[in-house]
Amino acid sequence: MMGVSTIQVAPRPGAGAVRPTSPDEREQIVQVAIEASVFTAREVATVAEMLGAYYDDPEASGYHFLSYREGGRVLGFACWGPRDLAMHAFDLYWIAARPDAQRRGIGRLLMEAVEAQAGARGGGWMWVETSDTPTYVGARALYERRGYRRLALLPNFYRSGDGLAIYVKWIESSGRVVARSGRAKRSNGRAKRSGGRAKRSREAVARSGRAKRSREAVARSGRVARSLGPGGRR
């Protein structure tokens, strides 16, 4: 059964709302990834796999999806989760929006919601991996506008001429902490990371590459850049 998140972002006047992804949005989430036009078939399949794990149990899988929806239509989504074996760190795995929803700040709203949920879990470092190519200059500018700082730059990381840029931001605790159930257990010594997350994390995240996913959904994927607006993916 899918767990229900306690953090929601209220709708803006005349706009839609960001909320935890619901079971009836499965096909639309995958379609958003496809329409972004920058995800490979394998990457889209990874989004679907992680979405399935989220529906089964977001706490056990460690994957949390949020959707931006107007009426009955999902225009964008984000996926984030607590980082393995770290009590104060989170990964932003995916963020994307439909091409026809660009220039509307949907990426910013999704990032605000992700940060709000991380804050409700005690806060910590939000970790984002992206490409250093010109295609992602807008994405990098967006992170910087939101207070992310570039921690490292590894040239030619993904391929020749395509390096890895790592961005981080400290998210303050909201003071209303939501238990990090399965995660606390994993970190505290039952770090067998039994079943769910361990396997899915290594198969969906490692097999595809956590770096790959972050940078694909968040970076390398011009999808976000193209989807969310000129020069900036979110």
The verdict on residue 120 lying in a domain is yes
Q: Which two tokens stand for residue 221?
A: 């994927």
Question: Does the pLDDT value for residue 122 go beyond 70?
Answer: yes
1 domain residue, yes or no? no
Asked whether residue 6 is domain-assigned, the answer is no
The predicted pLDDT at position 179 comes to 56
| Domain-located, residue 89 | yes
Is residue 52 domain-resident? Answer: yes
Average pLDDT for 109-127: 96
pLDDT for res 38: 67
**Mean model confidence pLDDT for the chain:** 76
Encoding tokens for residue 79? 């996926």
Q: In percent, how much of the chain has pLDDT > 70?
A: 68
Q: What is the model's pLDDT at position 40?
A: 78
Residue 8 in any domain: the answer is: no
> How far is the C-alpha of 139 from the C-alpha of 93, rounded, in Å?
14
User: What pLDDT shows up at residue 10?
Assistant: 43
Are 123 and 88 in contact, with CB atoms under 8 Å apart?
A: yes
Q: What is the DSSP letter of 86?
A: -
The answer to whether residues 28 and 96 touch, using CB atoms and an 8 Å cutoff, is no
Whether 195 is covered by a domain: the verdict is yes
Q: What pLDDT score does 89 carry?
A: 97
**Residue 7: inside a domain:** no
How many domains are contained in the chain?
1
Q: What is the CATH number of the domain that holds 63?
A: 3.40.630.30
Q: How far apart are CA 90 and CA 162, in angstroms?
A: 24
Please report the pLDDT score of residue 177 as a whole number. Answer: 59
Q: Which domain holds residue 80?
A: 17-228
Residue type present at position 232 = G
